[in-house]
Structure 1
Amino acid sequence: MPSPPSRFLAALDSWLAGPVPEPIIAILIPVIELIDGNQLKPALDQCGKLLKKWPRLYLLHAIKANLLHLLDRREDVLSIFHQFNSPGHPANSDSDYLHFISLPLLAQGQYEELLSVYEKAVSTITTQNQHLVLNVFLTLGEIGQLKDQQQVGLKLHKAFPNECRYLVWTLLSMILQSNSSQVSSTQGSILVSMAHRFLQTFLDKKANQLKYMNGSQFGSDSDQSWFEGPNQFWVVVKVLEVVGQWQPSDNSRKIIGDGKLKYPPSLFTKEHYSPQLALENDQASKDLNMASDKNFTHSSTQSLSSKAPPALSIKCRRPQVSDHACSVREDYFEIFDTVLGQEMRTKYLGLELMWRERGVDWANADGLKEIINRMKKRLINGDRNWHTMITINKCLVNLLQIDESGIEEVNLVDELYSVLDKEQTTQKNTERGYCLARADLRCRPRELTASSSRFEISTLSASLDDVLADYFHQFGGKTCCFDDMSQYLKLLTVEEADSLFIKLKQMDEAFIRSGSSSCSETSLIQHINYAKVCRVIRSVPANNQTTEAITMLQEYFKYLPLGNSLPETALQPADDMAILAVEALIQDWQDSEGKAGSLYIAAYILERCLAKSAHRYHARSLLIRLYRLLGNAPRFLSHFLNFGIKKIQHDTLSHLALDRCSMFFSNVWVPVNGADASDCLPTNVSHLINGAVSIYEPIEADTSRWIYNSYLNGNYIQVEDLNLFKHQIAFSLERKILTMEKIRLQLFEKISSTYIKKVNFENGTFTRENKTLICDLDEITRNLMQILENCHLAIDNRDFTVLPNHQPRKNLGPMHQTSLGPILGSNWLWIMGTTYARVLLPESAFSDHPSRSHPDFFSECTREEVCLHQYSEILSSVLKCTEDDELSSYSQHIVGFFERWVNEVRALVKPCEKDTEPPSKLLPYQLLAIIHVTYEGFCLFELVLQRLSNVTCKVKKNNTIIKSLTKIKSQILLKITELDLSIQRIYNLSHEDNQEDNEKKIPNQTKTRSFCLFASHTSEINLLSFENELKNELTNGTEIANDKEHDDNVGLEGYLKQVFKEQMCTLTNLNKLIKQILI
């Protein structure tokens, strides 16, 4: 029995603590005692008995509705609501009833009914129902109904004008609405105008309060304490930021405003702080002076003097900006430059960064120079904060765009960086910021429009390659070296890249001559950074990638003994060398037009790496991607489970394994540490998809609760952050992609269950009922509509940096190279969504995507997905067909869809029977994709046929279509039979060749590889060259992770045999879907 949610119990406790008449408490005590004892069903029965005696006790009806919700009787909850929802019913004037009936409606997501309740609750606001209306406001914020929340806030403010928090809450709801992409230009203009006027009202109220207060009275009322923390101050400057930034799409429309804010200067002075804040800031000033006297290093937020406002203000008037916006921006900077504003920036880093960001964007030439001067003073006083340097560089680039004389300022700043860098070098400090800031200063102009030559800063004393070489000379022995340099390496010109390579090579040779390159961890880090930088900036010939991989692998084994004494949970220092070797092999596969041998050896190297560094997530994420390419479902699923992704991480990381994972639908178990299938809990992609999709609703519910509490606690900054987070979760691109994959899996499950009731594992050890997914077509259609709704607004939260990228800068990175097709985006969502919606919702009209005619519209889809989309259009046309000739033409196209894929597989098999190289250099996943699209096409066909055959929708036209589809179904099944025979032939060829190798027992020096359809002869030679170069390391010794119980898997040869076996297992498991159709 589920326990009552804390919200319901809290509401009961709060109600009992209030002024409740004794007779009503006496009536409800028996029910409340049963609820406290978690006896929900007896409590519900007791409610029924009591309601027979007191049917007009509406609060009791609401409590009954809560109990029904807890017992999962949703329809009964709605029946109680509708019973009393008629206009003029006395229950609608009972605030207790309204409050308690809203709880189950909120929990069930019945927002329309909830808003109906709230509309009645706030129709009249008095001190008696103030608490109820306050809860209405908070709940509306919780569920994201910001417009309704703003209106309730205004009503609260008008009813209780002396409570400033209601005015602040109203301002906050306006701020949140202005950030919404769903607010039109006209609505937004009105909104920001209202916010500006209400801000003036708020400051007027604060000024009036302070006028009649003295210091001893301060803080006696929590609502009257002025800016005890950053939240109220943040609301003031945030409103100004929103108004100052607002640019309506209709330029002719002006924002209606009141001009500059009017407030007494004393409002932002020290005498009106709360005593606590004044005490803290006095102590902070003393600590700051002491730190300066002792030359202590302090952060950027501690180096701002708070004794007096700066002499010069930040100028921000520009010709292209309206007078009203300029006035608002001036108010923004003036308030930040008051004593209180400086104290807030000193104490709270977020406010300091907020001021800097707007200063960079809004300031004119004079204002930018003032910001630069303030930041330079910080650097001179010992500030080493990287953000301070970035702020200077951003200001300089903006200054160059509006004032050509800014080049002088650029030279001065670069000289300052250089001097500070030399000082920290002589003092043997390890501050990297100054040297990196010089590189950043040279790169930022290159990111702007290349049409203006003045953006290229050519007067600086050192070029970009000189600065980067200097940085490597100082910090090449630090693990962060490459990560610091990587973003700037991409912006080097060809000449600069060649020059940098020569300089680094000279450094490396000098390093070797000095004897510092002995086998130590410091020399290893230096060598790794050198190898990474050189790989990015120079172009390696296509035929040299294997050689480079062998060199990196030799270095890996050379430095591997450095980690012998480390605990098992530690990471090996040499792992990056193995990863560099793998990236070279991936590039070799790309350059060799699809030869798969390099991928097999790359996967083997990563397995060896993980055997010693089990927590090296870079290696594991790469391995997941490689096994997907190689069509090895057991291994990529196993590694993904071992990746240990938790809750919200699914939104950023699940794309590594779960994008397009429906092609692995039939693989229902994961071997762990070599365990047999019968020893494992069944796990497949359906479980993983369900687990990933299920994390979103609890996260949204938790975030809503945090928003509710943040309002109550006055954490207004947190309210904005949480609303943004909730918006990113609600519109998550990965969430929609996972839901789409779930729909595809559910359709497979539905059609599969039509043909077979049990799934037999290959080894025959056990069977299980096919209950992987429960297919609910109504749920599928709801999910489809959610996907298609605002899919163009989807927010991409995916983390693509989890895969290491040291590929040459002109090449695609490993994330793109190891994808099962183009990277998915919003266009893919629309294409796949409409592919299914045309079949599942034939009565709905779907307008073409606005970009449908664009030549790159299908660039996010594979050829199989494009073909499936076109196929669904044909099926949709069949459902609307009225002419026999058209129906015959469509039928031919449907059969042609299956014939295309059968012919491709047949063409792949025939050369293999003659022991020649396949004409199409397909990777295993590409064959799986062909089987997958064939099965998916049949599922859509079968779904159409089942729907038309439904008795409730049989009409004369449908009978004609059914006869036609039934006739071509036999032709489709013949094509699928051919596909099944071709796949079976692939499996038999592999099995026969493995048997032949085992019988011959060829000596090592002439041994051939186990047959694999996708490893061509050239690729096998590459594998042999690896073994010949590193024979002892690759063929003996360390067992591979996940295979420790299998002696025949030790070394490269045993590993390949096992991988090929698992590959064929994945293929045959997927082909079982085809066999189910034919049985």
Structure 2
Amino acid sequence: MMHVLRGLGRHKDMVTMFEEAFKQQPLNEELGAQTFFANVRAGQWKSAQQIATKMHKQFKDDRYIYWSIISAILQADDITTPESMRPILYKLAHRMLSSSSTPPHLSADRFYLHLSVLQKLDLLDEAHKLLDSEVGKSICDTNLSCDELRRAIWRSRGMIQEEAAIAEMRIVDKKSRNWLEFLSILEATFCYLTAGTEPPSAEAEGKCREHMLKTRVLFTQLVEEDGPKDRSATLALLELECRARHHGLSEPSRLVEQMKAYFEKFGDKACCFEDLKPYLVLESEELSSWTTFLDSHVSSFETLNELWRVINAVKLLRYSLSEAELSVEAESQRVTLYLKHYLEGLKLGVDLATTELQPADDLVLLAGNALINLWKLTADDAHLFDAAAVLEFALTKSKHSFQARLLLVRIYRLLGAPSLALEHYRNLQIKQIQNDTLSHFALSRASTFSLASTGDLTWASECLEATQIYLSNSQDTGDFVVRAFTAEKYSQIPEFIGFEDRLDNSLQRDLMKMEHLRMRLTHEQITSDIIDMELIELKFVFDRVHYDNRDHSILSNYQPRIIPGIDKQTQLFDGPEKLGWLRSFLKLYVRALQQGSDLDDTVEEKLLIGDRPKQNVNQRDKPSLKERLAEKDEEELSELTADERDFAAFAYALATWLGPYHDYIRPPAVVVLAEAAKQTEQKTGHPLKGVDLQALNGAATNGKKDEECPPPTDAPDIVHGHFDKLGKRFLDVRASASPVPALHVATLAQEALLLFAIETLRFKSPSVVKMHKLGALASSFKTLRADAVAVLQDISADLLKLGEAQGSADSRKTLVEKSNISAEIDQDFLVGVAKRVTEARKKALDGVGKGLSRICSAYCQ
């Protein structure tokens, strides 16, 4: 039964089951532990703490008191705990620690738990006393978690110099090359200079300069000692000069000289560019010296080490470019240079196995970056096609090039070839947590490319497959936490719980949910069952505290530092969906679904089985859901495209217009509950739990409304003219080189008709219209629907024509003729890429066009 309930996500029912069992067998230690773990899985920390305390008294095992302590800490950190309760819970944990019969230093994790409680209560002197003991020092020397906590406590006490002394001892005597040790020494070096607005005193500057000399000597000795086998000391010297420059204490050209020294020693390492990038804050003369130095390293190469020096030099030169050097002509020359070096570099990897990456791959990525920047400078899609072609060519040499495929996913979406983007995305074979961090590459605004309206569920299925990580997370992470409790790994427990919380409340998860809903409505007939189910899910989503776990830094960015990075340049519609975008769409959909549904909070409470999401304590004092849904937040709306803002305005006006009629016609909650209870008893033979059918039937009989139905009114201008405006907007964007703008407008027009269908579903019944004398309102629906269908049919016909044009031989020929890389890439290869791009465009345009026609047929009545 435990496994069944876990599989259903019904953790609170599992708690109830074990608590009943433990009450019946209070001497059964195993049942007690399982009851504790059930509360852990459900996140019920107060109950978990009470059970652990009870078990400690009953079974006299020391670990149970620590279970109680960590449960109190986790309760204090929980979002449902009021702010005023948190210090009390930390004090409770401290009191239990103080009264424990065993000292905390017998275990590193118990010691960590004790330190974390003292830190939370700001009892830093007591924490320092523990850390300064021989046992404390020994634990910190062997346990990274405790040592990290020690650093934080010492910084809070202002013990920066003492921390630096320990770091120096570890670096010199114990040969530690932990970067944190170097940072501790650097912080101590510059601690004399305050961060305030007032300039530091001459005395403080003098002390800082004196300390700088000592630190420079230390790091220089380490550089000589380590040689080329370790780069940490060389990087520390660079960081020292950079901080000195920030405070105005650096000698001219010293930073550049250190950068040159680093490049000379580690320029043949793949990490060189990323290591030096933070320090490229050079003045004009220094920049000229640096550029001249790098130019001397961009020459022919015969070995892999020489190739890597060239690659790093080219990357650093590109990153340092000024605005004047970013002309179209200069960028075109760089593309030619990068491709020339790449083709030369391929000779060094000719004997590599097909599973290996070519060492020259970064050069083709540089060419891709430059071509994308050319596209931004000229708005000419030919440069995007060229970028796709060179990256496709690179994949014939390095079929496992992760970076090339990621960039191609972005490029093909911009070119309006979504099937090719999905093909490369699937070839990445992302797994587990990558579904949360990387799925936005393919699934961001996936409904724009969806062909679900024609029965092609490819994109909808991809959304569902990507959400499997969230289902497994809710089941598996609880097991990790339980194992951590069993093994008393208290430093890991908050990390596991934080990981689970971030994944459960992932922004990407709910963005995919929204995209899946938008696709689902185009595929399935809109019914009251769909409306009710989606409404319940979206209401849970609306009140979540979201975390954005998406990785926006994974693309290798080789653009100059003065322009936006490659990630921002390749995002569809100039930016990803953020929380404001999600909340805007949640508001309009929850409001529409709420008006089309007979469910209210009372009915949901009686009918829903299973756990509810935790409610943030700060949300309890917010306005009602209905009031929040009706709010217009301009900051949130600013994250939408102009066409999406028009759609949101249409949805808001439509819901405001029809809201009073929905509220009047909707049956009372008692009627809905009575009907649900009756159906449940007929199907299962058992009454609905917690519902008295006879009492409900009596209440339903007296549930008739006394007020009159609001008189029918005309549709607002925004609603009445929305589809005509969409028709004109489509004519403006249909001539774009990429079909993406046309697809965007077309799918939003389709979505507007579907939203209209949701809002008017209640009024489809002739008996309802007749009973409430809403014939005039129903007639206005027919007029609006006919206008919408006429516009959508015109858009559908235009999309089919565009598809034919895109799939023609002339379109393919035009792409190849406009290409600027034909000298470097074989002509036949370019033709093959052009054919795939045009076919993918045709498929998208034809599919959306035919889908619009089908939806018009389904909702024309």
What does 1:342-381 correspond to in 2, within 5 Å? 342-360=137-155, 362-364=156-158, 367-381=159-173
- Single out whichever of 461-470 and 600-609 deviates more from structure 2: 461-470
Task: For 1:336 and 1:437, locate their aligned partners in 2 and report how far apart those are by CA, in whole Å.
Answer: 27
What does 1:759-770 correspond to in 2, within 5 Å? none
Paired residue for 1:591? 377
Cα deviations by residue, 1:428-464 (Å, 9 ceiling, x for unpaired): 4332212322333455699xxxxxxxx7343567654
Task: For 2:820 and 2:779, locate their aligned partners in 1 and report how far apart those are by CA, in whole Å.
Answer: 60
Aligned match for 1:188, one of 86, 103, 117: 86
Q: How has the CA–CA distance of structure 1 residues 716 and 383 changed in structure 2, closer, same or farther, with 3 Å as cutoff?
A: closer
Aligned match for 1:568, one of 350, 354, 358: 354
1:109 is displaced (CA, Å) by 3.6
Task: For 1:708 and 1:788, locate their aligned partners in 2 and report how far apart those are by CA, in whole Å.
Answer: 30
Paired residue for 2:228? 429
What does 1:860-871 correspond to in 2, within 5 Å? 860-871=639-650
Q: How has the CA–CA distance of structure 1 residues 380 and 958 changed in structure 2, closer, same or farther, with 3 Å as cutoff?
A: farther
Q: How has the CA–CA distance of structure 1 residues 864 and 816 changed in structure 2, closer, same or farther, with 3 Å as cutoff?
A: same
Paired residue for 1:826? 579
Q: How has the CA–CA distance of structure 1 residues 518 and 718 changed in structure 2, closer, same or farther, with 3 Å as cutoff?
A: closer
> Which ranges in structure 1 are unaligned for 5 or more consecutive residues?
1-65, 67-101, 208-225, 245-327, 447-454, 670-680, 755-773, 910-917, 998-1008, 1013-1019, 1037-1049
Question: Matched residue of 1:619: which SS?
Answer: helix
Question: Matched residue of 2:194: which SS?
Answer: helix
1:409 is displaced (CA, Å) by 5.7
Paired residue for 2:555? 803
**In the alignment, residue 152 of structure 1 is paired with which amino acid?**
I
What does 1:482-561 correspond to in 2, within 5 Å? 482-489=273-280, 492=281, 496=282, 498-511=284-297, 517-539=300-322, 540-543=325-328, 544-561=330-347
Structure 1 contact 417–437 (Cα < 8 Å) conserved: no
Cα deviations by residue, 1:158-217 (Å, 9 ceiling, x for unpaired): 445x43222111111122223334432201121112122222112xx226xxxxxxxxxx
1:646 is displaced (CA, Å) by 0.8
Paired residue for 1:945? 760
**In the alignment, residue 893 of structure 1 is paired with which amino acid?**
I
**In the alignment, residue 1010 of structure 1 is paired with which amino acid?**
K
1:1063 is displaced (CA, Å) by 1.0
Q: How has the CA–CA distance of structure 1 residues 683 and 777 changed in structure 2, closer, same or farther, with 3 Å as cutoff?
A: closer
Paired residue for 2:213? 415
**In the alignment, residue 587 of structure 2 is paired with which amino acid?**
T
Q: Do residues 789 (structure 1) and 543 (structure 2) align?
A: yes
Q: How has the CA–CA distance of structure 1 residues 829 and 547 changed in structure 2, closer, same or farther, with 3 Å as cutoff?
A: same
Paired residue for 2:426? 641
Paired residue for 1:665? 450
Task: For 1:897 and 1:445, locate their aligned partners in 2 and report how far apart those are by CA, in whole Å.
Answer: 60
Task: For 2:383 and 2:555, locate their aligned partners in 1 and report how far apart those are by CA, in whole Å.
Answer: 18
Paired residue for 1:332? 127
Q: Do residues 877 (structure 1) and 692 (structure 2) align?
A: no
Aligned match for 2:262, one of 471, 478, 482: 471
What does 1:711-730 correspond to in 2, within 5 Å? 711-730=485-504
Aligned match for 2:731, one of 906, 910, 915: 906
Question: Matched residue of 1:646: which SS?
Answer: coil
Cα deviations by residue, 1:831-867 (Å, 9 ceiling, x for unpaired): 1111211111127764666997775433322222222
Structure 2 contact 256–290 (Cα < 8 Å) conserved: no
1:958 is displaced (CA, Å) by 5.4
Q: Do residues 383 (structure 1) and 182 (structure 2) align?
A: no
1:645 is displaced (CA, Å) by 0.6
Q: How has the CA–CA distance of structure 1 residues 885 and 390 changed in structure 2, closer, same or farther, with 3 Å as cutoff?
A: farther
Q: How has the CA–CA distance of structure 1 residues 980 and 854 changed in structure 2, closer, same or farther, with 3 Å as cutoff?
A: closer
Q: How has the CA–CA distance of structure 1 residues 408 and 702 changed in structure 2, closer, same or farther, with 3 Å as cutoff?
A: farther
What does 1:260-271 correspond to in 2, within 5 Å? none
Q: Do residues 132 (structure 1) and 10 (structure 2) align?
A: no
**In the alignment, residue 802 of structure 1 is paired with which amino acid?**
I
Structure 2 contact 436–550 (Cα < 8 Å) conserved: yes
- Single out whichever of 686-695 and 947-956 deviates more from structure 2: 947-956
Q: How has the CA–CA distance of structure 1 residues 668 and 408 changed in structure 2, closer, same or farther, with 3 Å as cutoff?
A: farther
Task: For 1:175 and 1:396, locate their aligned partners in 2 and report how far apart those are by CA, in whole Å.
Answer: 36
Q: Do residues 178 (structure 1) and 76 (structure 2) align?
A: yes
Structure 1 contact 335–341 (Cα < 8 Å) conserved: yes
**In the alignment, residue 783 of structure 1 is paired with which amino acid?**
E
1:130 is displaced (CA, Å) by 4.2
Q: How has the CA–CA distance of structure 1 residues 583 and 696 changed in structure 2, closer, same or farther, with 3 Å as cutoff?
A: same
Q: How has the CA–CA distance of structure 1 residues 629 and 873 changed in structure 2, closer, same or farther, with 3 Å as cutoff?
A: same
Task: For 1:811 and 1:856, locate their aligned partners in 2 and report how far apart those are by CA, in whole Å.
Answer: 25
1:654 is displaced (CA, Å) by 0.7
Q: How has the CA–CA distance of structure 1 residues 881 and 142 changed in structure 2, closer, same or farther, with 3 Å as cutoff?
A: closer
Question: Matched residue of 1:437: which SS?
Answer: helix
Task: For 2:533 and 2:191, locate their aligned partners in 1 and report how far apart those are by CA, in whole Å.
Answer: 52
Structure 2 contact 587–630 (Cα < 8 Å) conserved: no
Q: How has the CA–CA distance of structure 1 residues 236 and 502 changed in structure 2, closer, same or farther, with 3 Å as cutoff?
A: same
Task: For 1:718 and 1:866, locate their aligned partners in 2 and report how far apart those are by CA, in whole Å.
Answer: 44
**In the alignment, residue 348 of structure 1 is paired with which amino acid?**
N
Q: How has the CA–CA distance of structure 1 residues 395 and 858 changed in structure 2, closer, same or farther, with 3 Å as cutoff?
A: farther
Question: Matched residue of 1:804: which SS?
Answer: coil
Task: For 1:953 and 1:397, locate their aligned partners in 2 and report how far apart those are by CA, in whole Å.
Answer: 78
Structure 1 contact 549–581 (Cα < 8 Å) conserved: yes
Task: For 1:607 and 1:648, locate their aligned partners in 2 and report how far apart those are by CA, in whole Å.
Answer: 27
1:347 is displaced (CA, Å) by 1.7
**In the alignment, residue 476 of structure 2 is paired with which amino acid?**
D
Structure 1 contact 905–979 (Cα < 8 Å) conserved: yes
What does 1:991-1010 correspond to in 2, within 5 Å? 994=809, 1010=813
**In the alignment, residue 977 of structure 1 is paired with which amino acid?**
Q
**In the alignment, residue 469 of structure 1 is paired with which amino acid?**
K
Structure 1 contact 227–233 (Cα < 8 Å) conserved: yes
- Scaled by the length of structure 2, the TM-score of the pair is 0.83
Cα deviations by residue, 1:982-1009 (Å, 9 ceiling, x for unpaired): 22332344456x26x8xxxxxxxxxxx6
Structure 2 contact 712–776 (Cα < 8 Å) conserved: no
Greater RCO (Cα-Cα under 8 Å, separation 6 or more): 2
Structure 2 contact 580–635 (Cα < 8 Å) conserved: no
Aligned match for 2:112, one of 215, 220, 234: 234
Q: % of aligned pairs identical? A: 24
Paired residue for 2:102? 206
1:895 is displaced (CA, Å) by 4.1
> Which ranges in structure 2 are unaligned for 5 or more consecutive residues?
601-623, 662-708
Question: Matched residue of 1:841: which SS?
Answer: helix
- Single out whichever of 342-351 and 535-544 deviates more from structure 2: 535-544
Structure 2 contact 726–749 (Cα < 8 Å) conserved: yes
Q: Do residues 155 (structure 1) and 37 (structure 2) align?
A: no
Q: How has the CA–CA distance of structure 1 residues 639 and 506 changed in structure 2, closer, same or farther, with 3 Å as cutoff?
A: same
**In the alignment, residue 639 of structure 1 is paired with which amino acid?**
H
Structure 2 contact 372–384 (Cα < 8 Å) conserved: yes
Paired residue for 1:813? 565
Question: Matched residue of 1:620: which SS?
Answer: helix
Structure 1 contact 477–526 (Cα < 8 Å) conserved: yes
Cα deviations by residue, 1:654-673 (Å, 9 ceiling, x for unpaired): 1111111111211799xxxx
Task: For 2:446 and 2:390, locate their aligned partners in 1 and report how far apart those are by CA, in whole Å.
Answer: 24
1:616 is displaced (CA, Å) by 1.0
Question: Matched residue of 2:491: which SS?
Answer: helix
Task: For 2:269 and 2:214, locate their aligned partners in 1 and report how far apart those are by CA, in whole Å.
Answer: 24
Paired residue for 2:687? none
Task: For 1:141 and 1:408, locate their aligned partners in 2 and report how far apart those are by CA, in whole Å.
Answer: 56
1:721 is displaced (CA, Å) by 2.2
**In the alignment, residue 554 of structure 2 is paired with which amino acid?**
V
Paired residue for 2:590? 837
